[in-house]
Structure 1
């Protein structure tokens, strides 16, 4: 089961967090929320496996 650990405000920040988490050894999925706005930005959910949520949140909170 995949669990949302963070909602990034845009694609750039989501990809930055994805890179950080994958470098630390986590499996990561990105999922777009809604439709892109006029400036092509939309929120992105960052998901990790349920068993890795606590560890992923520790990494996110240090950024």
Structure 2
């Protein structure tokens, strides 16, 4: 089962998180769920439930 671990507010944030997770060998899905105020997309970032703990550790190490 896939679990949402983050909602990115733009494609730059999505790309940064996607790249960080995949570089560490995690499986990642991205799903656009809408458009933000600036006209850019809003994206859900999902990982398999078994990788949620690892993904959260990686997310906390990313500086925005």
TM normalised by structure 2 equals 0.86
Q: Distance in 2 between matches of 1:38 and 1:23?
A: 30
Q: Distance in 1 between matches of 2:48 and 2:36?
A: 29
1:55 aligns with 2:54: yes
Structure 1 unaligned segments of length 5 or more: list them: none
Equivalent residues, number: 62
Structure 2 unaligned segments of length 5 or more: list them: none
CA-atom RMSD in angstroms = 1.4
More strand by share: 2
Q: Which residue of 1 aligns with 2:11?
A: 11
| TM-superposition CA deviations, 1:5-59 (whole Å, max 9, x none) | 011110111011101100000000101112x357431211100001000110010
